[in-house]
Amino acid sequence: DGGITQSPKYLFRKEGQNVTLSCEQNLNHDAMYWYRQDPGQGLRLIYYSQIVNDFQKGDIAEGYSVSREKKESFPLTVTSAQKNPTAFYLCASAELWGQGSTGNTIYFGEGSWLTVV
Amino acid sequence: AQTVTQSQPEMSVQEAETVTLSCTYDTSESDYYLFWYKQPPSRQMILVIRQEAYKQQNATENRFSVNFQKAAKSFSLKISDSQLGDAAMYFCAYRGNAGNMLTFGGGTRLMVKP
């Protein structure tokens, strides 16, 4: 079954602790993204990657880090420097602009809830 | 930078009636796509409809259609014969050929009354 898998669905972080959210896709997409969504708000871009071993900061990258060692994987680490990490996190992927047959559509995983305790 | 604006934080519609959600955007690019995504309480982002900027014909998917006004930079979503399952947050989004990113509006919460 093709798609984007995020894990865990629920995660609790203690103060001062780093946590990592997993995102795996088997759609053979080159581009991958991480978005943050706060309650009742829209989506804000944290990081994105268009190729293995390369990634760019989005609008709210401070306190987060990513890696892209494999095409299908784009894990997000929420570091202790992120002072207000409680939110819903969405991973997404897409073919690069103008390539493929999906009409430049970006597809999403089911999301992960992160709560600070 | 591109911006997407949804001016209606909340909308309500009677079941079986029609509702239109508004979206405006700002860009200097000539080649781009516009999307409407639905986010139900499960928080899954579901693609509703997409529009290619260079196509003049408005996209249609069953009960969902758009009114794309390129010169006015407007992209509204019309839902016909509204159903209870249409109740959700709806996000308008923009993807251009620079940066491969998707920029979202703030969302519109749609309530459907039985």
Q: pLDDT digits over B40-51, tens only?
A: 999 999 999 999
Residue B104 and residue B92 in contact, taking contact as beta carbons nearer than 8 Å: yes
Pairing of strands B108-113, B103-104: unpaired
**Chain B residues near residue A49 by CB distance under 8 angstroms:** none
Q: CB pairs below 8 Å between A and B: how many? A: 58
- From first to last of the 117 residues of chain A, give the pLDDT tens digit: 569 999 999 999 888 899 999 999 999 999 999 999 998 888 999 999 999 999 999 999 999 999 999 999 999 999 988 888 999 999 999 988 777 666 678 899 999 999 988
Flag whether residue A27 sits within 8 Å of chain B, measured between CB atoms: no
- From first to last of the 114 residues of chain B, give the pLDDT tens digit: 789 999 999 999 999 999 999 999 999 888 899 999 999 999 999 999 999 998 889 999 999 999 999 999 999 999 999 999 999 999 999 998 776 778 999 999 999 999
| Among the partner residues A31, A41, A111, nearest to B106 by beta-carbon distance | A41
Angle, CA of B85, B89 and B93, to the nearest 5°: 120
Residues B21-42: tens digit of each pLDDT: 999 999 988 889 999 999 999 9
Q: Is the four-CA dihedral A22, A87, B38, A104 of positive or negative sign?
A: negative
Q: Which amino acid is present at B58?
A: N
